[in-house]
Structure 1
Amino acid sequence: MVISVAATSIVDAIATDLRSRLFAGEITGQMPLTETDLAASYDVARPTAKAAIERLVGEGLLVRGAHKTARVAELGPEAVRDIYLARAYLESEVLRRLAHTRTVPTDAVIANREIAEFTDGSPLDLVEPDMRFHLSLIDAMGNERMSKMYRSLVSEVRLCMTRVQGLNLLGPGLIHAEHQKILELLREGEGEAAALLLDDHLGRARERLVEALGGEAGPEARVPDLPPAEETHLDHG
């Protein structure tokens, strides 16, 4: 397999490719990854393959086993809850602060519009705009350390979102409606209401995934009676 390195390092390029294949389901928990095999597959030295593996281990996507073999990290119910609750703590506070200044991030509006326009294709295609919606809320704070903190969770968050969509646990209509309502609450300065809706939004995905993974779902898995979001124009700021 040939990797284009362009402006990035070989390790970055291999890690990016492995990450993409993992999210696409091409690499599963039943597939052992060894430094020797990866070095041969990507035509690189073993230390380079090892560094790429360690990159994903550090992101929580791979775990090391015996004999330096790596495998895709298994998501269990408790791990899912831990990941979702960690992001909820950060995102909820961000929404409160954005609402204080009635800030509606333009990138979030654009990402949610893409979700609204989703009509066909793989459910996995929803992961990218959904992830971008949430990242844009964090980045709108303009706090470098906050963004860096959130991005330390991104790989595990994206893995959860990939599982949710791969199992068809949430449709684009509900995702878009709740995103839209959150944006409207930001515009209206209703930070606490936005934070509570976010908790419901993330809690539903979390508990449905917990149930799909063999755990006992909490009450958050229930779909609320949320009316369709109005197609309003939302300005930045």
Structure 2
Amino acid sequence: MRTHQLVLQWIEDQLSSGELTLGGRLPAERSLAEQLHVSRTSVREAIRVMEAMGVVRAGVGSGPDAGTVVIADPTAALGSALRLHVATSHLPVKDIVETRVLLESWAASRAHPDAPALAEAASLLEQMENCSGTEEFLALDVRFHLALADAAGNAVVSAMMGSLREAIQAYAGRITGSLPDWDATAARLRAEHRGILAAIKDGDGGSASQLVADHIEGYYAEAGLGAGA
């Protein structure tokens, strides 16, 4: 095992045992290096890895923000990895779309009609009615779908959807040029959004789930990205 992996293993063990908790601070770099009999370079490398994973936040200098603090941002590593793999074509757009349908239809079927996230979704719908430009619409659209996922109350699903956010917005934007009439498409998407939100608020999870699946697949089918594309 490489020395920085020893540091990572120690941090994981401390988190698992409860010795380190959310908001807790890691020992100083020199102290941790001496404790684990590794170099300070190995400690710094391990902390950089953990920071990229969204597990810690490293502060410099002195004062209340100094030191390395345990945080919880599970979308950080997932989002970075997914964006890189999509960019290198290791994850085909088709597979991302299918994953969206899987996650979002499940979330819609279990979304709580009184979830606070639905108020945010309704506000985003209003903004979509008045926005100008494709890029702004798609950014609001992604936030709308994330709010629906949050309404299901499943932290893992919310984290996975959050990690997909930028990838979804990027490839949704790339295919707009293939749409025959963006204004007509935007109007249809807004109407479908309203239908999905209404079904969830009415407690009809089955209908909401099917509406979400049809909504996602319909957008890509209209742009010529069928099931095998």
Q: TM-score range by the shorter chain?
A: 0.5 to 0.7
Q: 1:56 to 1:148 in 2, by over 3 A?
A: closer
Q: 1:196 to 1:102 in 2, by over 3 A?
A: farther
Q: Quick one: which amino acid aligns to residue 173 of structure 1? A: A
Q: 1:62 to 1:91 in 2, by over 3 A?
A: closer
The unaligned stretches of length 5 or more in structure 2 are 1-47, 53-76
Deviations 1:13-53, CA, capped at 9 Å, x for gaps:
xx9xxxxxxxxxxxxxxxxxxxxxxxxxxxxxxxxxxxxxx
Q: Quick one: which amino acid aligns to residue 58 of structure 1? A: A
| 1:200 partnered with 2:200 | no
TM normalised by structure 2 equals: 0.55
Q: 1:87 to 1:105 in 2, by over 3 A?
A: same
Give the RMSD, CA atoms, in angstroms.
3.1
Q: Quick one: which amino acid aligns to residue 157 of structure 1? A: I
Asked if 2 retains the 8 angstrom alpha-carbon contact of 1:127 and 1:162, the reply is yes
- Cα distance in 2 for partners of 1:181, 1:55 equals 30
Out of 119, 137, 152, the residue aligned to residue 141 of structure 1 is 152
Name which one, 1 or 2, has greater alpha-carbon Rg. 2
Identify the residue that residue 95 of structure 1 maps to in structure 2.
108
Compute the displacement of 1:143 (Å).
Answer: 2.7
| Residue identity (%) | 26
Compute the displacement of 1:124 (Å).
Answer: 1.6
Q: 1:61 to 1:162 in 2, by over 3 A?
A: farther
Identify the residue that residue 81 of structure 2 maps to in structure 1.
58
Deviations 1:184-209, CA, capped at 9 Å, x for gaps:
11121111111111111100122234
- Cα distance in 1 for partners of 2:209, 2:164 equals 19
Identify the residue that residue 122 of structure 2 maps to in structure 1.
109
Which structure features the higher share of helix residues?
2
Q: Which has the higher contact order (CA 8 A, sep 6+)?
A: 1
Compute the displacement of 1:116 (Å).
Answer: 1.3
Identify the residue that residue 140 of structure 2 maps to in structure 1.
129
Q: Quick one: which amino acid aligns to residue 180 of structure 1? A: R
User: Which SS does the other structure have where 1:152 is aligned?
Assistant: helix
- Cα distance in 2 for partners of 1:114, 1:164 equals 22
